[in-house]
Structure 1
Amino acid sequence: MAWNEPGGNSNNQDPWGGRRGGGDQKGPPDLDEAFRKLQDSLNGLFGGKKRGGGDSSSGGKGGGYGLFAIILGLLFAVWLYNAVYIVDAQEQAVILRFGEYHSTVGDGLNLYFPPIDRKYQENVTAERTYSTTSQMLTEDENIVEVPLTVQYKISNLKDYVLNVDQPEVSLKHATDSALRHVAGSTTMDQVITQGREQMSEEVRERLQSFLDTYGTGISVTQVNIQRATAPAEVKDAFDDVIRAREDEQREKNQAETYANGVVPEARGQAQRLLEDANGYREEVISRARGEADRFSKLVAEYRRAPEVTRERLYLETMQEVLSSTSKVLVTGKDGQSNLLYLPLDKMIENRSGSSSNSSGITAPAASDSASRSNSGADIRDPRTRETR
C-alpha cells in the first residue's frame, strides 16, 4: 500500500523515515547515512558486525575486510575474462612470457597469464593482398608505370611476430626491390605485352627469396602484374611510338602478303619458260634429225637416179622460192627460152598498200629492180613473148 494513500499509513510517516507535518527530518536522508546502511548490509553478508552501540572498532575492521574482498573478486573476474581466449581453426596465437617466446597455441579454449604473458593472435590461412603502382625504368631506358598486386599469407607466426617489427612494411620494400630488378632487365615491349606473365613469376621468386632472408614468416602465393602503361607526362609520345610500331608491323605484313603472291607467280612463269625452252629444243632437235634422215635417204635416191632426182630437187626448190613472190617465170620445153611474167595489177595494189614504207621503196619497185638486174632475162609486156 502506498504511503500517501488515505488510511494506509497510520503513523503518518514519509518514505524517508520521518513523520509528516512536524518531525525533525523534513527532506531525504543524508548520503552518509545511506552509505553506512549499505556497508552494514555488506558486513552482515561477509560476517562483519553492524555499526551501532557495540564495539565500533571491531565493526569497522570487519567492514574493511569485506570491501577489500569485493575489490579482489572484481579484479579477479576482470583478469579471468582477459586471460581466457578462444583460438579459431584458422588462427594461431604466440605467447610471450616476460618478453621471451613461450609457445605457439592452436585452435581451442586457452588461458594465459597477463601481464606476465603477452598474446599475439593472427589468421594464418586467409590470403592477404598488397597492391602498389610504381614507375620503373626498363632495360631499353623507357619509363613505364607498373601496377602490381601481391597475394600472401602467414606461414610462420613466430617469425612473423618476433623477427620483424613491421612485416607489411618489409613486404612493401621487398616488393619494390624485386620489381625494379626484374623490370630493369626487361625491355618495354615485354613489360607491356606478352612478357608480363614471365615477369610476374620472376618477381614472385625474387620477392620470396627476400622475405625468407629477412625471416618474416610470409609466404607469397601469387604476384599479378596488370597492364603497364606510360606515365601521364609522356603518354602522348608513348602512344605515338606504339602507333608507329603497329604501322611498321602492318607494312611488314602487307609486304609479306605481296611477296607470297608474287614469288609463286614468278616461279610459275620461270617454270613455263623452262618448259617452252625444253619443248623448242626437242622440236629443233627432232627437225634436225628429220632433215638429216631425209638428206640421207635423198643421197641414196640420187645415187640410184641422178637425173630424176636432180630435176625433182630443182622443181621443189623453184616452187619454194617462187611461191612467195609475185613474178612468174615461164620456161620453154628446151630449157633455153624463158619468159618473165609480171602481173601489173597486183604490183599496183601492192604499191598503193605499201606507200607508208619507211624506206621509201615499195615492194613491187624493189621486185622490179631485182628483175632488171637479173642476168639473161628481158622484161616484156605480159601480152608479148620473145624467144631467144
Structure 2
Amino acid sequence: MPWSNQTGGGRPGGNNGGPTGGPWGQPPRGPGGPPGGGGGGGGNQPPDLEEMLRRGQDRLKNIIPGGGPGGGGGGMQIGAAGLGIVAVLLGGLYLFSSAYQVEADELAVETVFGVPRNDVNEAGLHFAFWPFERVDKVNIGVRQVNIGSSGRGGSQQGLMLSGDQNIVDVTFSVQYDVNVPKDFLFNVNDPTGMVEEVAESAMREIVGRRPAQDIFRDDRQGIAQDVREITQSILDSYGTGIGIRALNIEDVAPPAKVADAFDEVQRAEQNEDQFQEEANRYSNKVLGEARGESAQIREDAAGYKSRIVQEAEGEAARFISVYEQYAKAPEVTRKRLFLETMEGVLRDSNKVIMESGGNGQGGTGVVPYLPLPEIGKRANSTNNGGTN
C-alpha cells in the first residue's frame, strides 16, 4: 500500500516513546509482523484497506451461491456477478416504474418529449419509457355541471332577459363527456368552467329571442335543444374534445321581488283558460241543439213539400181523368158532377122530400104545412133520451 511507505521506514528501537511516522501519527506496521507488535513498532496501527476488501469479498462469497474461495481472480468474478445482479435489479425497477395501468373508464395519451401522440391507449397494461415519455389519463365518464340558482332568491347567474322584456330565473344542467382525449387534455385548461360559461351564454341568447311564456311552459324542450346545439358548436370550434350528451331545464321562475305578482298573473291566465273552455263547451252545446232543430225543421219542410206536391199531382191526375171522361160524354159527366156536388152539400142538412101532385098541389090527405124542423128535433131528442 502507498500509505505503508509514507514515512520512509519504521521507528528504530521499537519502543513506544519515540516519534511516530504513520499518516495518523502512529508508527507503521513492520513487514510480516502483527498489527501493534514486532518488526519495528507497537501501539495503534492504521486500518489496512486490502484487509477490509478481503473481508468484504469473503462475506460476499458466503452470500452469493457458487462464489467459493479463490485468489484475486475469484474476487474479480464475484464483483462482475454483483454488478450483473445490480444491473438486473435496476432494469427491473426501471421497467416497473415505466409500466402503468389504464382503468375501464379511462383513456391515456402518451407524450414523447412533451409532444402528444395521436393514438389513445384504452383499458389495460401499457409502458411509457421514462424520462422520454409521459402519460396523461382522462376519465371518460359522463360529468354534470349545474347552472343557475336552485330556487328563488339564490344566485344571480340564472337571471336572464326574455324576448318580451321579462326577467326569468333559469336553472338547468349540462351533461358532457370526453370525445377527443388529446384535445381535452392539451387544449382546455378548465373544462368544467368552459362548459358552464358557454352553456350559460347560449341559454341567454336563446331566451333573449323568445317570449317568457315559451321558457315557462310552451316550448321548454325546443329551447333546451337549441341551447345544446349552440353549446356543442362553440365547444367544437375551440377544439375542446367535449361532447354534450344532454341539457335539461330543471326550473324556471320569476325573480323573488316579483314572484307574488307573477303568481297572480299565472292565476289570471289559468282562470282565463278555464272561462274560455266553459264558453266553448256552452257554445258547442247551443250550436249542437240549434243544428239539430234546424235539421228537424228542414226534414219536416221536406216532408210537407213532398206531401203537398204528391197531393197536387194526384188531384191533377184525377182532374185529367175526369176531363177525359167529360170529353167523351159531356151531358152525362155534367149531370154526374151536379149530383156529386149536391150530395156533398146536402149530406149534413135536414131534408124533407115531398111528392108533388100533377096539379101542383100537395099530396092527397097531407096537410099543406107541418112543422117539420120541430118534428125532427123531437125525434132526435127522443132517440137521445132512449139511448141515455
Kindly indicate whether the alpha-carbon contact (under 8 Å) linking 1:129 and 1:151 is maintained by their aligned counterparts in 2. yes
Say yes or no: does 1:316 pair with 2:344: yes
CA distance in 2, matches of 1:144, 1:205: 22
Deviations 1:56-91 (A, max 9, x none): 9x9xxxxxxxxxxxxxxxxx9xx9899657332233
Distance 1:164 1:293, change over 3 A: closer
- The 3-state SS of whatever aligns with 1:140 is coil
Q: CA deviation at 1:95?
A: 5.5
Q: CA deviation at 1:270?
A: 1.8
Where do 5+ consecutive residues of structure 1 fail to align? 1-51, 59-75, 344-388
In structure 1, give the amino acid aligned to 2:168: V
Distance 1:289 1:161, change over 3 A: closer
Q: CA deviation at 1:128?
A: 1.2
Structure 2 match to 1:377: none
Q: CA deviation at 1:210?
A: 0.9
Q: Which moved more, 1:85-94 or 1:172-181?
A: 85-94
TM-score (norm 1): 0.54
CA distance in 2, matches of 1:138, 1:338: 114
Structure 1 match to 2:143: 128
CA distance in 2, matches of 1:237, 1:186: 21
Kindly indicate whether the alpha-carbon contact (under 8 Å) linking 1:94 and 1:157 is maintained by their aligned counterparts in 2. yes
Structure 2 match to 1:38: none
- The 3-state SS of whatever aligns with 1:190 is helix
Structure 1 match to 2:125: 108
In structure 2, give the amino acid aligned to 1:152: Y
Q: CA deviation at 1:93?
A: 4.4
In structure 2, give the amino acid aligned to 1:303: E
Structure 2 match to 1:214: 238
- The 3-state SS of whatever aligns with 1:226 is strand
Distance 1:316 1:204, change over 3 A: same
Kindly indicate whether the alpha-carbon contact (under 8 Å) linking 1:96 and 1:103 is maintained by their aligned counterparts in 2. no
Structure 2 match to 1:171: 195
Distance 1:303 1:280, change over 3 A: farther
In structure 2, give the amino acid aligned to 1:235: A
Equivalent position to 1:287, from 306, 311, 325: 311
Structure 1 match to 2:290: 266
Say yes or no: does 1:184 pair with 2:208: yes
Kindly indicate whether the alpha-carbon contact (under 8 Å) linking 1:329 and 1:338 is maintained by their aligned counterparts in 2. no
Q: Which moved more, 1:310-319 or 1:236-245?
A: 310-319
CA distance in 2, matches of 1:158, 1:311: 123
Deviations 1:357-378 (A, max 9, x none): xxxxxxxxxxxxxxxxxxxxxx
Deviations 1:236-285 (A, max 9, x none): 22222322332233333333333433333322222221222222223323
Equivalent position to 2:262, from 215, 238, 242: 238
CA distance in 2, matches of 1:180, 1:342: 111
Q: Which moved more, 1:293-302 or 1:230-239?
A: 293-302
In structure 1, give the amino acid aligned to 2:100: I
CA distance in 1, matches of 2:268, 2:372: 83
TM-score (norm 2): 0.54
CA distance in 2, matches of 1:292, 1:340: 46
Q: CA deviation at 1:287?
A: 3.2
Distance 1:283 1:177, change over 3 A: same
- The 3-state SS of whatever aligns with 2:252 is coil
Deviations 1:187-230 (A, max 9, x none): 33332335233322222221111111112222222212213222
Where do 5+ consecutive residues of structure 2 fail to align? 1-42, 50-89, 149-157, 361-367, 375-388
Aligned length: 266
- Name the % identity: 30
Structure 1 match to 2:100: 86
In structure 2, give the amino acid aligned to 1:140: D
- The 3-state SS of whatever aligns with 2:235 is helix
Aligned ranges for residues 42-61 of structure 1 at < 5 Å?
none
What RMSD in Å do the two structures reach over aligned CA positions? 4.5
CA distance in 1, matches of 2:181, 2:230: 22
Structure 1 match to 2:58: none
Structure 2 match to 1:304: 332
Distance 1:200 1:53, change over 3 A: farther
Deviations 1:281-304 (A, max 9, x none): 233233334444555528838631
In structure 1, give the amino acid aligned to 2:143: R
Deviations 1:123-182 (A, max 9, x none): 2x2111111111222333332222111111223333223223322222221111111122
In structure 2, give the amino acid aligned to 1:129: Q
Q: CA deviation at 1:184?
A: 2.4
In structure 1, give the amino acid aligned to 2:102: D
Q: Which moved more, 1:193-202 or 1:270-279?
A: 193-202
